[in-house]
Amino acid sequence: MIRAFLPLKKSVVFKITFVIILLVLSFTMINAYLINRQFQQLSLSKKSDQVSLVKITATNLSDMAYDADFSRMMDVLNNLKGEGGEHKIYYGIVMDNKGYAYAHTDDRLLGTNLKDSQTVTLLQHVGALETEKIFFQEFQDTNKMTHIREIAVPISMGGDIYVHILRLGFSLKPIEDLKKQIWAQTISIGLISAFLVLFLYGYLRKSVLRPIAELTRNAKDVQEDKADKITPIQTGDEIEDLSKAFGSMLENLRHKQELLLHSHRELAEAKLLSAVGEGAFSIAHRIGNLLNPVETWIKNVELQRDIKENFEKIYRQLHLAKDYILRAKNIDPGIPRFEPYSISHLLDLSLERNPPPKGVQVLKKYSPVRETRVDPSQMEDVFTNIIVNAYQAIGEGQGSLSIELKEQGSAILVSFSDDGPGIKTPVESIYDLFHTTKKDGTGFGLFRTQRVIKAHQGFIYAENRPGQGATFTIKLPIQ
């Protein structure tokens, strides 16, 4: 059980977990340090500390108030305003319960009846102040754009006699600045976290994602028959084990594929022999039918009857027999001789050697495509056969043949679309040997066309549009 959690090799899970733990620990330590420091700074500006300062000052001023020593009060207030640190006051006032200022840090307001909104508010709550012994109010100093907290307490002149009120104003700017600092620190932590995440992504990309991408490319190479481009992956973890297993599977797949190809070759040869046998039988039967009357006509020649007419009949029958024999030679196209070639050039050659009949328009839609390895002669015959079939399907009159050439992934697509009457027989049977819809057809054309395309590791399929035409599409791999 323990060994399952402590593998000898550093696994992918271990790598990811280790990095995440480091990231969490670093973030936690940094955040704890910053929060601790922020709380220490906030404790210096707590309201209770400000209240304590106000009450202590009021106690110190009580004797001065009893003696009406307002000059000393001024000194105390000015000293408080001039002190540094978090408790530095924004202003200080000693006034009576009518608003008359006996002492003020602002000399301009000294000895005047204060009528500002804060004084008015305070005088409205004098009763509560004498009862609660403290009064708070916060406001915005629009002149200096500073948020102020004012704390007012009564100054005792002995017992419960309160004649004067002490008002101390504290600027909340340090707290606001601290809030901004906390916000800036939060942003900094976010940026640092983002940097760490990017670092983690880079590490995972190098140690995990890149090998997985390499393994994916290897799988695609196998899918596209590029097994010779397989590259080994060495990461020292489960990905390497998966790569080795993939390589072993590929070797087995190659072996089984070779056996399958060998079986396919034997099956194809058997089918070809069967087709050739059927073709030979059919051709022999047709040649026999052609030569039977020749024997009669030769006897007629011996009897000197209608010599010229009989010779013409003999020549015509022998010419047909020769034509069947020549066509039978084309059942098997033979082994392709591959070489890099331009498909668009082969299409143009086929069109040049087979110009359209009068009234038929050829529309070429060629997109740039790469050269591929084909047998130029066989592929030209394929294009010629499909083009001529389209001409014959359109017939006399107005019509068009559209030829489209383009790349699709790792293959080249060639489409021939005509606007003839369409295919009159089931599409799946048009590639059979001897299948034809023409009066003088042999049924060799599309059979041979399909065999050539298969020999090029491609395929052909037809789309029938009854009454509107047909489209033949050839897909060839780029090699």
pLDDT at residue 464 is higher than 80: yes
pLDDT at residue 174 is higher than 60: yes
Q: How far apart, in whole angstroms, are the C-alpha atoms of residue 308 and residue 300? A: 11
Q: How far apart, in whole angstroms, are the C-alpha atoms of residue 461 and residue 471? A: 8
Q: How far apart, in whole angstroms, are the C-alpha atoms of residue 347 and residue 383? A: 7
Mean pLDDT over residues 258-273, rounded?
67
pLDDT value at residue 403? 92
Task: Of 85-89, 170-174, 390-394, give the lowest mean pLDDT range.
Answer: 85-89
| Cα→Cα distances 159→66, 123, 154, 163, Å | 12, 22, 12, 12
- What lies within 8 Å, CB to CB, of 410 at 6+ separation is 224, 477, 478
pLDDT value at residue 84? 47
Mean pLDDT over residues 321-347, rounded?
74
- For residue 317, what are its two tokens? 């029958």
SS3 call for 5: helix
Query: Among residues of the chain, what percentage have pLDDT more than 70?
Result: 63
pLDDT value at residue 412? 93
pLDDT value at residue 196? 72
Task: Of 179-188, 438-447, 454-463, give the lowest mean pLDDT range.
Answer: 438-447
Helix locations, 126-172, DSSP H: 126-132
Q: Is the fold of 47-171 the same as that of 339-477?
A: no
Confidence of residue 47 (pLDDT cuts 50, 70, 90): confident
pLDDT value at residue 149? 86
pLDDT at residue 113 is higher than 60: yes
Strand pairing report for 459-465 and 360-366: unpaired
Domain spans of the chain, in order of start: 47-171, 239-328, 339-477
pLDDT value at residue 365? 92
CATH number of 339-477: 3.30.565.10
pLDDT at residue 126 is higher than 90: no
Query: Among residues of the chain, what percentage have pLDDT more than 90?
Result: 14
pLDDT value at residue 73? 86
CATH number of 47-171: 3.30.450.20
pLDDT at residue 181 is higher than 70: yes
- The residue that leads in pLDDT, 465 or 21, is 465
Backbone angles phi, psi at 304, to 5 degrees: 65, 30
- The residue that leads in pLDDT, 69 or 262, is 69
pLDDT value at residue 249? 75
**pTM over 0.75, yes/no:** no
- The residue that leads in pLDDT, 90 or 324, is 90
Mean pLDDT over residues 92-103, rounded?
90
Confidence of residue 25 (pLDDT cuts 50, 70, 90): low
Task: Of 208-217, 339-348, 395-404, give the lowest mean pLDDT range.
Answer: 208-217
Tens-digit pLDDT profile for residues 419-441: 888 877 776 767 776 656 665 55
Confidence of residue 215 (pLDDT cuts 50, 70, 90): confident
Mean pLDDT over residues 325-353, rounded?
79
- The residue that leads in pLDDT, 46 or 79, is 79
Mean pLDDT over residues 412-422, rounded?
89
Give the closest residue to 373 by CA, choosing from 461, 457, 444.
457
pLDDT at residue 229 is higher than 90: no
Tens-digit pLDDT profile for residues 143-156: 777 888 899 999 87
pLDDT at residue 320 is higher than 50: yes
Q: How far apart, in whole angstroms, are the C-alpha atoms of residue 265 and residue 259? A: 10
